């Protein structure tokens, strides 16, 4: 090729044209291309800038093409991730997750229950021997079928996991819910290894292990492991222990009907026990039995003949619960956890850390006060003490008896006697028009109803009647208001007992309540009408620091106005002093005693003392198991102002000793204000008139009236009902006539003891 031909070729390359087709280019352009040299010409031909040249901008068509390529690569990458990601995740999980054994299900972790300050109250260590493994051959086929009918009817045909259920659970959890179906294989894995927390991670592990388990074990082996591991309630893990716990016999003796009951418990054993929820237990039993018929595992004739089986009485296993007075706290905590949705199984397997509201020092004071009071006394005496924080409802001290696995007397319902009188006042203050504390009544004994010695008054207002515990006044007041309204007022304060078919005897406590209820109701009055749910549990955390529950901060639920509550409190301010009790610093305290007389002449069955300061409300009860007469070691009948009052004063004095004295809010009377005179006391001059009683600014208690003879209990009256036609005086018609000069103290009228039928007395 000659030099001319070479130049033509290079020019063509530089210009991007073929040789011989350079006509369209100008001479200057051809010269520039030739001068650039062959290397630059090649770069330009390939689209690569060199020297001082810049890359040409892409055309719209080129931009569109490039965008399409990027979208295509992204889509291909996403598809690859979606397809290969789960495969990789499954492969890794399959490689590293170990197959559980039935023994893992009962590898229970110790639960720790602590006081409010974090110190240990007790450790709940599960009992040994609550699980007995049996081979599947010993489990009757109908019992196995009952479990399949309840939990997984396609067990023998499914691959070990329910993909639809898993996807449904995942979608629910993404939306903030819980749930999703599980096969028996998945349940087995969940209960034995993975845990029951509602997370996608748990579902992921559950699915992988279910598949792995299905490949390495037969269906019978899986079912056998499941039946030996699942929790049935009553502390029983596995079908053998459950058979013994519910029927007192071995599993091979179970009938299809008995097996169906156990199968129905699996979903919620702590709540659907026939001893706890018989209606739900029957409903689940019917579901299982009908399911067995639908699967041809039971004939319609057999179903028609089947009857709901009888179970053994439910026994609370100790499970590490202390045998002393702390046991009642632990049982109450467990009941509260169950009400919060935290099951026995979670308590046994999650290594829970449970913080309570119990103050360790106050708890010890309650124990000491109770035990010191009963030391040397008759062995049949029982006592209970409950102290509640009015501001939160938190139970600060709780004594239900010395035997922690026996009867909890703080929850036993007894007639409260005159400790119910404040609820009569509460009902009266909410009438229209209200019945104020200054309204006066005839307080003399009437046929069929008397007052205790020293509690008569010719004419006294409501506060005066409360101070001496005049029964006639409050019986009259309850009849005037209406017994049902008194019951409603008590419920609004926090009494949860039925109080059905109320009559005027409710004023004197003829309806049974528990010490816990009474303390809660008094705490509502102390809190100015704000009710707080009484509770033990403040926080629950798992071993891996998941918070299962934390008591919410609450302003309380307004049950009645603060002014109404303060007026009720006003009626109770002189009671403790009148009965000879006081707290350190002469601080204000509202209280009421109560005594329930026996059917035996001169005897009492129950005695109470309940009262509060602004910071703590405490109730004390003393009685017996058999509603028999209560006497001290020297034979003296026990009344509210004796042993219960001494226990109350001892506990409360220690509880408030280190606190600065607190006063109740200023008293603003509703309706007629009360007199500041003692009952039966007359004014000393013509210029003296009853004046409203104001809360002492110093926080001191008013002086105790001296019209009650020492040693008498104004709270006790015999059983009886008021005779028909008991006089009822219009409180507005009563006038106090002042007389000049000093007047002698009017001695209370003493009436002969009469037979009467009121069930609870003052």
Q: Which residues are catalytic?
A: 151, 418
- Which of 298-302's residues contact partners 24+ apart within 8 Å by CB, and which partners? 298/142, 298/145, 298/256, 302/256
By C-alpha distance, which of 278, 265, 272 is closest to 232?
265
Q: What is d(CA 356, CA 113) in angstroms, rounded to the nearest whole number?
A: 7
By C-alpha distance, which of 528, 471, 525, 463 is closest to 691?
463
By C-alpha distance, which of 374, 402, 370, 399 is closest to 387?
399
How is 268-304 classified by DSSP, letter by letter?
-TTT--TTT-HHHHHHHHHHHHHHHHHTTSS-HHHHH
How is 455-496 classified by DSSP, letter by letter?
---SSEEHHHHHHHT-HHHHHHHHHHH-HHHHHHHHHHHT--
Task: Confirm if 696 and 577 have CB atoms less than 8 A apart.
Answer: no
Task: Confirm if 246 and 132 have CB atoms less than 8 A apart.
Answer: no
By C-alpha distance, which of 270, 165, 272, 269 is closest to 210?
165
Task: Confirm if 190 and 96 have CB atoms less than 8 A apart.
Answer: no
> CB neighbours of 72 closer than 8 A, spacing ≥ 6?
none
Token pair recorded at residue 343: 């099951």
Q: What is d(CA 642, CA 712) in angstroms, rounded to the nearest whole number?
A: 10
- Helices (DSSP H) in 630-721: which residue ranges? 643-656
* DSSP secondary structure code for residue 528 in this structure: T
By C-alpha distance, which of 44, 62, 45 is closest to 53?
44
What's the farthest any 2 CA atoms get from each other in the chain? 156
Question: Which residues share a beta bridge with 398?
Answer: 386
Q: What is d(CA 119, CA 360) in angstroms, rounded to the nearest whole number?
A: 8
* Continuous segment of H or E residues that includes residue 168: helix 163-174
Tokens 């009408």 sit on residue: 529
Tokens 């699980």 sit on residue: 131
Task: Confirm if 369 and 618 have CB atoms less than 8 A apart.
Answer: no
Compute, in degrees rounded to 10, the torsion defined by CA atoms 283, 284, 289, 293: 90
Which SS3 state, helix, strand or coil, does residue 592 take?
strand
Question: Which residues share a beta bridge with 597?
Answer: 604
Q: What is d(CA 176, CA 146) in angstroms, rounded to the nearest whole number?
A: 33
Task: Confirm if 108 and 348 have CB atoms less than 8 A apart.
Answer: yes
* Continuous segment of H or E residues that includes residue 539: strand 537-541
Task: Confirm if 481 and 427 have CB atoms less than 8 A apart.
Answer: yes
> CB neighbours of 137 closer than 8 A, spacing ≥ 6?
none
Q: What is d(CA 550, CA 747) in angstroms, rounded to the nearest whole number?
A: 57
């Amino acid at each position: 090729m000659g030099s001319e031909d070479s130049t033509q070729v290079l020019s063509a390359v530089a210009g991007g044209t073929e040789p011989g087709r350079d006509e369209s280019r100008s001479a200057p352009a051809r010269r520039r291309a030739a001068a650039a040299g062959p290397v630059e010409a090649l770069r330009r031909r390939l689209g690569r800038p060199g020297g001082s040249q810049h890359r040409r901008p892409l055309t719209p068509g080129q931009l569109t093409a490039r965008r399409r390529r990027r979208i295509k690569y992204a889509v291909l990458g996403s598809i690859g991730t979606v397809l290969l990601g789960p495969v990789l995740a499954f492969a890794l999980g399959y490689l590293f997750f170990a197959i559980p054994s039935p023994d893992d299900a009962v590898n229970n972790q110790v639960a720790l229950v602590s006081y409010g300050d974090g110190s240990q109250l007790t450790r709940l260590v599960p009992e040994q021997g609550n699980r007995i493994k049996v081979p599947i051959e010993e489990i009757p086929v109908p019992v196995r079928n009952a479990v399949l009918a309840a939990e997984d009817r396609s067990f023998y045909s499914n691959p070990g996991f329910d993909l639809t259920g898993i996807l449904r659970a995942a979608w629910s959890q993404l939306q903030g819910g819980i749930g999703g179906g599980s096969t028996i294989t998945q349940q087995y894995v969940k209960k034995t290894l993975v845990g029951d927390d509602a997370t996608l991670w748990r579902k992921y592990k559950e699915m992988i292990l279910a598949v792995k388990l299905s490949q390495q074990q037969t269906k019978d082996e899986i079912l056998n492991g499941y039946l030996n591991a699942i929790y049935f309630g009553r502390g029983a893990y596995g079908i053998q222990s459950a058979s013994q716990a519910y029927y007192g016999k071995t599993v091979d003796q179970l009938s299809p009907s008995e097996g169906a009951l156990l199968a129905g418990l699996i979903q919620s054993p702590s709540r659907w026990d026939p001893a706890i929820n018989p209606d739900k237990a029957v409903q689940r039993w019917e579901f299982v039995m009908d399911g067995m018929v639908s699967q041809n595992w039971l004939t319609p004739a057999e179903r028609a003949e089947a009857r709901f089986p009888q179970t053994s009485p439910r026994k609370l296993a100790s499970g590490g619960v202390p045998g002393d007075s702390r046991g009642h706290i632990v049982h109450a905590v467990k009941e509260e956890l169950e009400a919060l949705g935290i099951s026995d199984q979670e308590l046994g397997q999650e290594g829970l850390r449970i913080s309570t509201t119990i103050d360790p020092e106050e708890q010890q004071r309650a124990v000491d006060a109770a035990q010191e009071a009963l030391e040397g006394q008759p062995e049949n005496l029982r006592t209970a003490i409950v102290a509640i924080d009015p501001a939160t409802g938190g139970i600060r001290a709780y004594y239900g008896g010395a035997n922690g696995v026996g009867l909890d007397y703080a929850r036993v319902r007894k007639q409260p006697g005159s400790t119910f009188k404040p609820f009569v006042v509460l009902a009266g203050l909410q009438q229209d028009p209200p019945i104020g504390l200054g309204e006066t009544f005839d307080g003399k004994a009437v046929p069929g109803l008397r007052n205790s010695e020293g509690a008569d008054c010719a004419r006294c207002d409501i506060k005066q009647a409360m101070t001496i515990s005049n029964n006639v006044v409050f019986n009259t007041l309850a009849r005037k208001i209406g017994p049902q309204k008194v019951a409603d007022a008590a419920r609004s304060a926090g009494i949860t007992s039925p109080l059905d078919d109320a009559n005027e005897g409710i004023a004197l406590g003829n309806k049974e309540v528990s010490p816990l209820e009474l303390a809660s109701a008094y705490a509502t009055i102390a809190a100015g009408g704000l009710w707080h749910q009484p509770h033990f549990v403040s926080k629950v955390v798992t071993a891996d620091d998941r918070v299962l529950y934390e008591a919410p901060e609450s302003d309380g639920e307004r049950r009645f106005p603060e002014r109404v509550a303060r007026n009720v409190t006003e009626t109770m301010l002189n009671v403790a002093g009148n009965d000879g009790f006081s707290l350190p610093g002469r601080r204000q305290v509202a209280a009421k005693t109560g005594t329930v007389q026996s059917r035996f002449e001169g005897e009492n069955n129950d005695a109470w003392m309940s009262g509060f300061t602004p910071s703590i409300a405490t109730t004390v009860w003393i009685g017996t198991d058999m509603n028999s007469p209560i006497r001290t070691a020297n034979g003296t009948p026990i009344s509210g102002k004796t042993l219960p009052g001494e226990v109350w004063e001892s506990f409360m004095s220690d509880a408030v000793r280190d606190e600065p004295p607190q006063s109740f809010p200023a008293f603003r009377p509703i309706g007629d204000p009360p007199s500041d005179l003692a009952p039966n006391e007359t004014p000393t001059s013509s210029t003296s008139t009853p004046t409203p009683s104001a809360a002492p600014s110093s926080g001191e208690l008013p002086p105790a009236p001296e019209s009650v003879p020492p040693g008498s209990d104004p709270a006790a009256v015999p059983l009886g009902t008021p005779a028909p036609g008991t006089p009822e005086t219009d409180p507005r018609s009563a006038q106090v006539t002042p007389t000049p000069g000093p007047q002698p103290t009017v001695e209370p009228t003493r009436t002969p003891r009469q037979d009467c039928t009121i069930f609870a007395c003052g």
